[in-house]
Amino acid sequence: MPLSTPFFPQFNPAVLPVGRAKIQELATASLDHLAALFQDRIGPDLLAPAPRGPNSRRRIFSTAVTFWAFLSQILSPNSSCREAVRRVAALWHLEHNRQIDSDTGAYCQARVRLPLALLDKIGRRVANALENMIPMANLWLGRVVKVVDGSTLSMPDTAANQKRWPQPNSQKEGCGFPMIRLVGLFSLASGALLQTVTDSFFSNENNLFERLFKFLDAGDVLLADRNFCSYGNLSALLSKKVDAVMRMHQSRPADFRKGKALGKNHRLIGWQKPTKKPRAMRQEQFDLLPAQITLRMLRLHISAPGFRTRTIVLVTTLLDTKLYPPEALLELYRRRWTIELFLRDIKTTMKMDVLRCKSPAMVQRELAMHCIAYNLIRTLMLEASICYHVPLDRISFKGTVDTLRQWAPVIARVQTKPKRRSALINALLLVIATDQVPLRPNRREPRAVKRRPKPFQLLNKPRHRMKDTPHRDKFYTRRPKKTRA
């Protein structure tokens, strides 16, 4: 579906295909409203032309042009490469009454030339800037809390993607899609996606989580569900001086008769090193584990009007009962659900659940661009929350994306007028702050779809074999009329 709001209203001075001077101007110009809003957070140094080697030539689709065009596609999931290029061609024709080549080849090749290391560097810079904006009042008892969780992503069924990320065994050959297993590290206070690690669908989430340890800082608190609650993970976190709050793994018995009593359903316990090495752990890692770790174990009851009371068992390395009482730990673990909302925003709202690129190299770039776009949107949300004293979790992510698309072209028109631009940005943040989601605590909805799918049969054989299969449609197949005896 074509967009009603073009993403490149200021693009025409940068697409001149005539003359070296015009192409050189393209490499440094602020090309569109996305650059006008976000280039200060990314920094012009990262998108500047390389002095030599790859991306050093003065091309029409320079690194900066390609990056902002790619970002606009991510923020508009229905926007294709053809649409982006032809929008540029239309604007060029409008301003200069001349045709330029509207083929997508040059732009697609420019996307391939975007260095993945550059995108990772931009992603880290945006995420770090977002973390530095967090007010102290938003921290949990003065501590930085990071949340980890895993998910999966799908992509086009190409031979290269299947080789890099094979499809699950439950899908028939020729009928499934390549799958990526992803583990992400989020900031609880800002919602920033700090880092992601990926591997094939058959990889272990705890092995991927191990690759995130280097992104945890001493003094952090890690919040995680029961899947990550293991002796090895807790020991590794303690060695980095990182505390943890996790739900007890279902395979470990919660025996409240052992340890030191700290209160009702509250014990100080010691976990012994396992006698057998876990399959997912290397032998050298297992040998370095301490013989015992000390934890607090709490049995907590979650009750909400209209729902049955649930009992959960938490373990934590936060041993000070005065600084971290059970009520505070329960409230913290209840907030773990927000990571599901973060994943919904980036996967469902931004359409990252099904990636579109057909080669592994471009899939990795597309994933990196999704992380950058998500954090830029979270930056606007946090700024609106701080400026207008609105709780961050009440601001709509989808509403912020929609507001950005409509307001950014207007702000780009006054780029040369700082006072007017500042006033419009403040108005943009006010609109974002007032677009709040309803306050519905303990809301519970069935995970079911009301809209019925189209009555087409499923592709349960490879496509070339299904072409010879007669079409079966229970709604449109003529049935013989019944005759009365």
d(CA 435, CA 31): 29
Which structural domain, as residue segments, surrounds residue 53? 12-114
Which 3 state secondary structure label does DSSP give 182?
A: strand
Per-residue pLDDT at 252 exceeds 50: yes
Range name among 155-169, 312-326, 430-444 with the lowest pLDDT average: 430-444
Residues 52 and 126 in one domain: no
pLDDT score of 41? 83
- In this prediction, residue 293 has a pLDDT band, given cuts at 50, 70 and 90, of very high
User: 143-186, pLDDT tens digit by residue?
Assistant: 999 999 999 999 999 999 999 999 999 888 888 899 999 999 99
Residues 36 and 182 in one domain: no
> Buried b / exposed e across 323-339, counting CB within 10 Å, b at 16+?
ebebeebbebbeebebb
Residues 24 and 157 in one domain: no
Range name among 63-77, 181-195, 264-278, 458-472 with the lowest pLDDT average: 458-472
Per-residue pLDDT at 301 exceeds 90: no
Task: Specify the pTM.
Answer: 0.86
Q: Which of 268, 229, 274, 269 is nearest to 248 (CA)?
A: 229
> 181 with 200: CB under 8 angstroms?
yes
- In this prediction, residue 457 has a pLDDT band, given cuts at 50, 70 and 90, of confident
Residues 239 and 167 in one domain: yes
> 228 with 249: CB under 8 angstroms?
no
Query: Beta partners for 224?
Result: 246
Residues 251 and 293 in one domain: yes
Residues 91 and 228 in one domain: no
> Buried b / exposed e across 358-373, counting CB within 10 Å, b at 16+?
eebebbbbbbbbbbbb
Residues 98 and 122 in one domain: no
pLDDT score of 482? 62
From residue 68, alpha-carbon distances to 16, 301, 313 in Å are 17, 49, 47
Q: Which of 334, 349, 364 is the last residue of a domain?
A: 349
Domain count along the chain: 2
Whether 146 is covered by a domain: the verdict is yes
Residues 161 and 265 in one domain: yes
Alpha helices in 279-389 (DSSP H): 283-288, 326-334, 338-344, 360-388
d(CA 249, CA 333): 15
Residues 137 and 42 in one domain: no
Residues 341 and 322 in one domain: yes
Looking at the chain, the number of H-run helices and the number of E-run strands are: 17, 9
Residues 341 and 264 in one domain: yes
In single-letter form, the type of residue at position 61 comes to F
Per-residue pLDDT at 82 exceeds 60: yes
- In this prediction, residue 119 has a pLDDT band, given cuts at 50, 70 and 90, of very high
Q: Which of 71, 91, 114 is the last residue of a domain?
A: 114
Please give the distance of CA 390 from its chain centroid, rounded to a whole number. 23
DSSP 460-476: -S-HHHHTTSPP--TTT
> 218 with 228: CB under 8 angstroms?
no
Residues 272 and 313 in one domain: yes
Q: Which of 314, 349, 384 is the last residue of a domain?
A: 349
> 125 with 46: CB under 8 angstroms?
yes
Quote the Cα angle for 479-480-481, to 5°: 115
Whether 130 is covered by a domain: the verdict is yes
Burial class (CB in 10 A: 0-12, 13-18, 19+), 111: buried
